[in-house]
Each structure stands twice: as structure tokens, then as C-alpha cells.
């Protein structure tokens, strides 16, 4: 099935979109259309000639956008077939851009719940390792992030960024490079699930006690305490998000 491209605007305000921003914007809008289900697995996207003529963008910008999507596993291009949307199992769901595209619309329940399962597998174990391996400098990075989060609150973008910084700092403090490489994914998961809960008005009244409990255990070198505190934090976040999903 061939599908039409999404509505695309070449200009934002009075400033024209630059070359890199242009193909990134095309990739973003196609990505949202795919992750939201408007373009389904098996659908064939418009070819570059049709797309570029309809939206008055260069073929090169469209080709570069498709390369971005292909690198993230959302599409595949074949001669004489075209660019086809792939099955979700092939998508790079750990990619922060893909997560952002999901949460721009109503994310699939399986993706949201899967993110929390991933967090529950990774973060408690990471907190335990961080308690054993963290440096004093890393402790101070975590403390600063929580102080900012407490001062700014999760109702602000800056407060949400501080929350993300704290979770990423915990992963960095494991001193395990493969595990720390998940920081951007975990950080994106924290950011977008918080954003989603806020959109559904399900933010917790005060998330700080749970976060400080994790911090205190890591700072004290208490691996078991850090693991348990992080389990509580992630479980409560999942519960709040489940309520938000139930409101759909």
C-alpha cells in the first residue's frame, strides 16, 4: 500500500529551514507518522520524485531523511519496490529520537510498558553498582541534579532535565562503559514518560523522597539499599504511568 507524505512546512516563522534542518524535519515528521501508526508496517512511502514535487523540497533532502529512518530501522528501501515501513521489531526503540517520535502522539502501550520493564531490569542493578564504584565527584553530580530537580520541579522542562541528569549520572557511576552507554536511552525514557504523565496530569505530588533515598544509599555505599530504593522509584513511576494509560 502506497501512502502520502505528512503535511510538511518548509518554513518556521520567517526563517527558512537550512539543509540539515530540512532533512531532519522531514525525518521527524515521517518518523512520527510511522510510530503513531499512520504509516503502518508494509506501507510503501511516496517515492522521492512524488514527495519532493508535492512538498517542494529537494530530492536530496528526502533521500537523506529516508537514510535517517533506515538507520533507525523504521524503513527499508529496495530497488523496484520503494521505501517500505518495517515491523516494529526491527525499529531501534533504544534510540532517543524514536522514543521522542512515539511520545509526540499517543505512544503504544507495549512501548511504554516495555520502557519501564527495561528500566526495572537496568536501573536497580545500576544503582547497586554505583553505590560500590561511585567517586565523590559523581556523588556531587547526582546531588546537584537532585537539588535542581527539587528547586525547579517536574512541572518545568529544566526540572525534568535535572531528573534525567540524575538517572544518567547513576548509570555513569557504574563505571561500566556498556551499561553507561544506555544513559541516553534511560534518560530519554525518564524524560518522555514524565512528559506523558504530565500531559495526563499524573505527576506525583512530591517525587523527591524516592530520589533522595536512592541518592543516600549510593552516597553511603549501600548497594542493597540503592537497589531496593531504585526498585521502589521505578515501580511507583510505572504505577503512575499505568494510570495515565488507563485514561486514554
Residue 2 near residue 43 (C-beta atoms within 8 A): yes
Strands in 95-220 per DSSP E: none
C-alpha separations of 69 from 25, 74, 97, 215 in Å: 12, 5, 10, 38
pTM above 0.75, yes or no: yes
d(CA 45, CA 83): 6
More confident position, 212 or 109: 212
Residue 92 to residue 23: CA distance in whole angstroms = 19
Residue 112 grid coordinates: 511504554
| pLDDT tens for each residue of 147-167 | 999 999 988 989 999 999 999
Question: Which tens digit of pLDDT belongs to each residue from 4-47?
Answer: 455 444 443 333 445 558 888 899 999 999 999 999 999 999 88
Tell me the pairing of strands 15-16 and 11-12.
antiparallel
Confidence (pLDDT) at 12: 38
| Residue of 247 and 199 predicted with greater confidence | 199
Calculate the dihedral angle through the C-alpha atoms of 115, 94, 5, 1, rounding to the nearest 10 degrees.
Answer: -80
Q: Are 157 and 69 in contact (CB under 8 A)?
A: no
Across 43-56, average pLDDT? 82
Cell 512511502 belongs to 45
Please return the burial class of 211, using the count of CB atoms within 10 Å of its CB with bins 0-12, 13-18 and 19+: buried
User: CA 107 → CA 86, 130, 147, 156, distances in Å?
Assistant: 17, 31, 31, 22
- How many angstroms separate the CA atoms of 128 and 234, rounded? 14
Angle between helix 183-199 and 157-172 (nearest 10): 150
The total of other beta-carbon atoms located within 10 Å of residue 63's CB is: 16
Q: What is the pLDDT of residue 137?
A: 98
3-state secondary structure of 68: helix
Amino acid at each position: 500500500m502506497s501512502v502520502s507524505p505528512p503535511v510538511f512546512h518548509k518554513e518556521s516563522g520567517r526563517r527558512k529551514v537550512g539543509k540539515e534542518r530540512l532533512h531532519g524535519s522531514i525525518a521527524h515528521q515521517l518518523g512520527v507518522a510511522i510510530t503513531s501508526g499512520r504509516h503502518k508496517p508494509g506501507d510503501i512511502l511516496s517515492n522521492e520524485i512524488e514527495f519532493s514535487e508535492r512538498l517542494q523540497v529537494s530530492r536530496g533532502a528526502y533521500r537523506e531523511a529516508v537514510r535517517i529512518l533506515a538507520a533507525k530501522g523504521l524503513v527499508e528501501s529496495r530497488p523496484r519496490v520503494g521505501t517500505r515501513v518495517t515491523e516494529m521489531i526491527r525499529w531501534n526503540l533504544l534510540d532517543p529520537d524514536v522514543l521522542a517520535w512515539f511520545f509526540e502522539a499517543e505512544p503504544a502501550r507495549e512501548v511504554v510498558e516495555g520502557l519501564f520493564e527495561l528500566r526495572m531490569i537496568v536501573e536497580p542493578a545500576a544503582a547497586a553498582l554505583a553505590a560500590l564504584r561511585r567517586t565523590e565527584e559523581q556523588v556531587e553530580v547526582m546531588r546537584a541534579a537532585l537539588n535542581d530537580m527539587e528547586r525547579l520541579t517536574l512541572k518545568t522542562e529544566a526540572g525534568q532535565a535535572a531528573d534525567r541528569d540524575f538517572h544518567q549520572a547513576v548509570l555513569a557511576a557504574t563505571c561500566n562503559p556498556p551499561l553507561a552507554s544506555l544513559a541516553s536511552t534511560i534518560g530519554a525514557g525518564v524524560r518522555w514518560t514524565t512528559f506523558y504523565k504530565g500531559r495526563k496530569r499524573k505527576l506525583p505530588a512530591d517525587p523527591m523522597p524516592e530520589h533522595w533515598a536512592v541518592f543516600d544509599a549510593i552516597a553511603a555505599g549501600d548497594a542493597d539499599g540503592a537497589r531496593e530504593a531504585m526498585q521502589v522509584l521505578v515501580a511507583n513511576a510505572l504505577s503512575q504511568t499505568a494510570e495515565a494509560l488507563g485514561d486514554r
